[in-house]
């Protein structure tokens, strides 16, 4: 951590590294995108799972728990049987959508070139 309180990615002990591990996953990026599209509303767990093809219930649960713990997502439970669980982005989570959207766009635009480079790599 720098004197200003800002993280230092190159310091092996800096928590920035762990944070990047958590927010840099495809499931985090997809969940943030779905929740951002729902703004200012909430999205139920089942709807998130439907809108994120390939995510297992367990992986989505772990992803949402992590995002909630990090203050990026707010969770609201309705006391029904079974309980209805709703999620929405916090202000901090909304601030993450712009950089993640840029990364998603870059990946979608450059995937063919990356695949081509991998095909040419003899190693």
What integer best gives the mean pLDDT of the chain? 92
8 A C-beta contact, residue 55 and residue 27: yes
Q: Does residue 56 or residue 2 have the better pLDDT?
A: 56
Facing residues of 88 across strands? 74
Round to whole Å and give the CA distance between 102 and 3.
29
pLDDT class of 6 with cuts at 50, 70, 90 = confident
**Cβ neighbourhood burial of 16 (10 Å; 0-12, 13-18, 19+):** middle
Tens digit of each residue's pLDDT (9 = 90 or more) over 20-43:
989 989 999 999 999 999 988 999
Tokens standing for residue 11: 């310091």
What would you report as the CA-atom Rg of the chain, rounded to the nearest whole angstrom? 17
**Phi, psi at 74, each rounded to 5°:** -105, 140
pTM of the model: 0.86
Residue 123 has pLDDT above 70, yes or no: no
**Cβ neighbourhood burial of 37 (10 Å; 0-12, 13-18, 19+):** exposed
């Amino acid at each position: 951590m720098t004197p200003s309180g800002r993280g230092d990615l190159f310091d092996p002990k800096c928590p920035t590294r762990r944070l990047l591990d958590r927010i840099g996953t495809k499931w985090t990026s997809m969940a943030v995108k779905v929740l951002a599209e729902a703004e200012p509303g909430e999205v139920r767990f089942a709807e998130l799972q439907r809108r994120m093809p390939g995510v297992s219930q367990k992986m989505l649960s772990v992803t949402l728990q992590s995002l909630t713990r990090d203050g990026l997502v707010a969770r609201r439970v309705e006391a029904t049987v079974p309980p209805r669980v709703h999620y929405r982005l916090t202000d901090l989570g909304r601030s993450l959508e712009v950089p993640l959207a840029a990364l998603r766009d870059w990946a979608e635009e450059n995937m063919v070139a990356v695949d081509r480079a991998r095909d040419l790599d003899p190693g």
